[in-house]
Amino acid sequence: MTIPQPGLWLVSLLVLATGANAQELAFPRVTTIFDGHSTDMWGLVYDPGKNVLFYSRTNSEDIREYNLASGAESLVTDGSALLGLLQGFDRPSFMASAGSGQNIIFSEFSKLRAISPSGSLESSSTFEGGANLPRAIVSLPDGSVYVADSGDDVIMKWQNGGWETFAGPLTLKPFSLAYNTNDGIIYFAV
């Protein structure tokens, strides 16, 4: 087994890991459901209501849906990879969803966009000032969105149509976010 060096991100397979049950061994089973390239696949969101995975493909400038029950893959952007380009997608990357049937929020180089589960582009918001490199995204049940902005070294909050700095400036670039639904705490990693 090769151990990656610090800073080397290996995201070459989209995998489905399922936990143990009474008929299986007591360790997770890993099944490859899509074999991509580390520079192509970035964001990943699960929708329990539809039992699908949404994921971004940066090289083809689109967002796709993978149905876990049928194994079918489809483009979310109304069935055409070209539509993603026509809608101005700029290497969609990190993703979040507020829950089943909600908009999927994804980052591009300097903005956030939202796509409805039906595939229509709902909204777009550009970051204000600075290098603005949106990374991780967390969407909360109240509709607010938190973004790790590694261009300005801050955690930004989008709510009620406007941006505000939630935390920062930080001494290191934030890259990952997590939200604890039990206590409302937002965690981030640099």
Instruction: Kindly list the domain boundaries of the chain, sorted by start residue.
Output: 37-126, 135-190
How would CATH label the architecture of 37-126? Beta Barrel (2.40)
Could you tell me where the DSSP H helices lie in 10-155? 81-86
Q: How far apart are the C-alpha atoms of 112 and 153, rounded to whole Å?
A: 17
Helix H or strand E segment including 179: strand 176-179
Residue range 108-148, pLDDT digits in tens: 666 666 766 666 666 555 555 444 777 788 888 777 888 88
Q: What does the block give as tokens for 29?
A: 């089973």
Residues pairing with 14 in the sheet: 34
Rounded to two decimals, what is the model's pTM?
0.64
Contact 126/117 with Cβ under 8 angstroms? no
Region 78-95: mean pLDDT is 57
Q: Is pLDDT of 166 > 80? A: yes
